[in-house]
Structure 1
């Protein structure tokens, strides 16, 4: 930073600062001194803003002053001494002087001095540490797909960090161990370039796997800067034969599908029947074997071999053609069983109705028998009716009433 033009009084202040520098450095002040300025060290990332605060416990109306690493006066009280638009007055009172420095650069790092012009001059220093923000990591070393069982070496590089950044490797959410980071200093800047290598022996499960390189640094939040690389692995196909249905029936159309997954996708399919030739009505259609009309003679083990240029594999399927007549008979038997069960349930319900009816009839007869019991010993019809309705004594009363 160069000295700009400034009022003569401010130049005088700067000269006083220089003149008292040697004396100040040799003075040791008591911590209980109310006029001793107090500061704190600060850490800021490149491009950020830092606030420097200087306080005293008491004031004797002496002015506080902030100076930069080159002992240039920045602010004397509320008066700006250095024309740098990045540096602004944050707060000024009798006991505090705070300034802010925006868009911090690496060159702003160092010791800043707060002075109070008492006799003798008292000072305090604040160290500003500027963090160099690492650049987004770059992954190199992977261009083409790698055959299964082969090795791939990836290199991750991040530049411009201060202090040196740390690099971490991940496959999905699993952290991988790479070689120790290599740190090189930048010849033009007080920053570091960091690189790390990761070597993997790949398998087919690594196809489409996501490899991540993430930067760890005090200036960053976790996950702020990372790069990803998708692996491509070449491997022979896995083969499986899938039937159109689980119950192939005689006389129906039917097909088998050769399902093969590999990288690259299979380019050719070969159908065979184990211990024999393919049936005359079976037609090969790439990954499909189609039967125009199933016959029991089609029973057997069928093989499909898929090839993708990297290798080949085969799957097999045992075909058992079902007799539709047997299936209908079986279905009829099932219906007969169901009908029998329903008949038994109806029979049981009829039996219950008969028993219930007999029970009700028996109780009704008993009631009629008791009702006629009074007429057995009656001398005449009137007496029998009276006895049946209310008993013997009641009959006598009613006879007197009628007389």
Structure 2
């Protein structure tokens, strides 16, 4: 039982597989058969030209060709036979809209191409080359004839009056083209375009577009462009336009600086006005009263020859065009004294110049220092990268100097003048070397030091060093030893102060 079920399943699968394979083979054969008639897929032409529709049979083999027919299928119409060729008969051209303009230039079954002269826009459609064969039956190929017509493109602006409702401000048209053209608008104003299509002459198409906008005075003179794209054009065609919006005059009076003082001369007020159409009338007047004698009017300018109390009033300028009147006014206040004139801020200008100069100088200095630093580094100059060791001390020079001073002051008062006859005073005491100076005796022990005190008139003990005799002064001055008073020697802990020197 199980074996029978498996056998049935296998048999069904084989049948389905065979059917699918047969369908694929049938489609392949049909596709191959459909390719036996070779034609051009598309032919493009313009009205008045001559077109050649080619056709031939490929891979004939054992197939017998008996007859060739050309069939025309309009875009919106019924099929018509337009040309028939049989090798045993003359070519035949049945009645059709193409009769008299279609023919076989070289009639044969191998090359049954046809020629259509003076093509029209209405000739557009499908052209079918059909072979009658044995034993496979009819074989055919289809060529699409596309007729092109270059449209005539125009655009214009529409003069409108400013308002609050959307109106058409520009129109653009691409007339009698095929296929239909595409229109778009390019503008800086806030509007939108609408397109409509209608049949043109000789099976062509006309496309119209309108640009709609709520017009304002500010829109007058703005640029707008109609751009038309079509298959017959190398690039889109742009038609520039300017919007035309009419509005009443817009008026502004300028020239008053709020500094009209008594005695000022030749002050001018100017009446500036815009409008569409252009204003034709300009009229100056006072808000009340008559125009002063010191006032002169010429066109849109009002000149006050000399300011006085008579011009302490309100001046009005009225401008008129076809749509209405616009006006503006200015009230003049005459002052007894003039206001300070606002001059250029010289201090600010000078400060700004100095600031710029300072900045430039800083920049130049920084550049110079940077270049010098780079040059020094490249040459190996500059301070060393290590710190040299301090000088080595060779002995207690300070202590030796103090000892010598104590021995000298034992026989001589401290206030005696001391003169250094040779050399300069030694300042770097720590670097002084006793051995280099030739001192070999040892310094006295601080514990053996005594504070000698000599009463007035007593002699110094014999055990002291010989009395130091100071060298003669260059100017012959000698210190007065009788007036000198004995002083105690400085202790080791006190600081050393040199005695006063006379120069």
Short-chain TM bin: 0.5 to 0.7
Count of aligned positions: 314
2:45 aligned with 1:32, yes or no? no
2:330 aligned with 1:317, yes or no? yes
Say which of 194, 198, 219 aligns to 1:183: 198
2:250 aligned with 1:234, yes or no? no
Q: 2: CA distance between counterparts of 1:72 and 1:183?
A: 37
Rate the CA distance shift 1:244–1:59 in 2: closer, same or farther, 3 A: farther
2:280 aligned with 1:264, yes or no? no
2:46 aligned with 1:46, yes or no? yes
Is the contact between residue 38 and residue 55 of structure 1 (CA under 8 Å) also seen in structure 2? yes
Alpha-carbon distance, 1:260 to partner: 0.4
Rate the CA distance shift 1:301–1:210 in 2: closer, same or farther, 3 A: same
Rate the CA distance shift 1:114–1:389 in 2: closer, same or farther, 3 A: same
**Alpha-carbon deviations, 1:283-316, whole Å to 9, x = none?**
2222111122345774554321111242111112
Say which of 291, 313, 317 aligns to 2:304: 291
Is the contact between residue 169 and residue 243 of structure 2 (CA under 8 Å) also seen in structure 1? no
Q: 1: CA distance between counterparts of 2:206 and 2:139?
A: 38
Larger radius of gyration: 2
**Alpha-carbon deviations, 1:320-352, whole Å to 9, x = none?**
567876527x98x998xx9xxxxxxxxxxxxxx
Is the contact between residue 37 and residue 141 of structure 2 (CA under 8 Å) also seen in structure 1? no
Is the contact between residue 191 and residue 213 of structure 2 (CA under 8 Å) also seen in structure 1? no
Q: Which residue of 1 aligns with 2:147?
A: 131
Three-state SS of the structure 2 residue aligned to 1:235 is strand
Alpha-carbon distance, 1:147 to partner: 4.6
Q: Which residue of 2 aligns with 1:22?
A: none
Which is bigger in relative contact order (C-alpha 8 A, separation at least 6)?
A: 1
Q: How does 1:4-403 map to 2 (within 5 A)?
A: 30-33=30-33, 36-39=36-39, 41-42=41-42, 44-46=44-46, 58=59, 60=61, 69=72, 70-71=82-83, 105-106=120-121, 108-114=123-129, 119-120=134-135, 123-133=139-149, 135-137=151-153, 146-149=160-163, 159-162=175-178, 165=180, 168=183, 170=185, 172=187, 176-178=192-194, 181=196, 183-184=198-199, 186=201, 189-192=202-205, 202-208=215-221, 223-224=236-237, 232-243=244-255, 251-274=264-287, 278-294=291-307, 298=311, 301-319=314-332, 327=340, 377=405, 379=408, 381-382=419-420, 388=426, 391=429, 394=433, 397-398=436-437
**Alpha-carbon deviations, 1:176-223, whole Å to 9, x = none?**
355x7363564xx33455667778775434544567666666656774
Is the contact between residue 38 and residue 55 of structure 2 (CA under 8 Å) also seen in structure 1? yes
Q: 2: CA distance between counterparts of 1:124 and 1:155?
A: 48
Name which of structure 1's ranges 291-300 and 150-159 shifts more when overlaid on structure 2.
150-159
Q: 2: CA distance between counterparts of 1:248 and 1:86?
A: 97
Q: 2: CA distance between counterparts of 1:241 and 1:390?
A: 90
Is the contact between residue 167 and residue 213 of structure 1 (CA under 8 Å) also seen in structure 2? no
Three-state SS of the structure 1 residue aligned to 2:426 is helix
Rate the CA distance shift 1:275–1:118 in 2: closer, same or farther, 3 A: same
Name which of structure 1's ranges 256-265 and 107-116 shifts more when overlaid on structure 2.
107-116
Name which of structure 1's ranges 132-141 and 234-243 shifts more when overlaid on structure 2.
132-141
Q: 2: CA distance between counterparts of 1:295 and 1:221?
A: 72
Rate the CA distance shift 1:395–1:266 in 2: closer, same or farther, 3 A: same
Is the contact between residue 171 and residue 209 of structure 1 (CA under 8 Å) also seen in structure 2? no
Is the contact between residue 206 and residue 231 of structure 1 (CA under 8 Å) also seen in structure 2? yes
**Alpha-carbon deviations, 1:242-261, whole Å to 9, x = none?**
21768667634321110000
Q: 2: CA distance between counterparts of 1:280 and 1:45?
A: 82
Rate the CA distance shift 1:389–1:170 in 2: closer, same or farther, 3 A: closer
More helix by share: 1
**Alpha-carbon deviations, 1:155-192, whole Å to 9, x = none?**
766543456x36757473666355x7363564xx3345
**Alpha-carbon deviations, 1:219-249, whole Å to 9, x = none?**
567744x767655443210001121768667
Q: 2: CA distance between counterparts of 1:397 and 1:182?
A: 123
Is the contact between residue 212 and residue 229 of structure 1 (CA under 8 Å) also seen in structure 2? yes
| TM-score normalised by length of structure 2 | 0.44
Three-state SS of the structure 1 residue aligned to 2:142 is strand
Rate the CA distance shift 1:315–1:140 in 2: closer, same or farther, 3 A: closer
The gaps in structure 2 that reach 5 residues or longer are: 1-27, 73-81, 86-99, 351-400, 409-417, 441-503
Rate the CA distance shift 1:125–1:388 in 2: closer, same or farther, 3 A: same
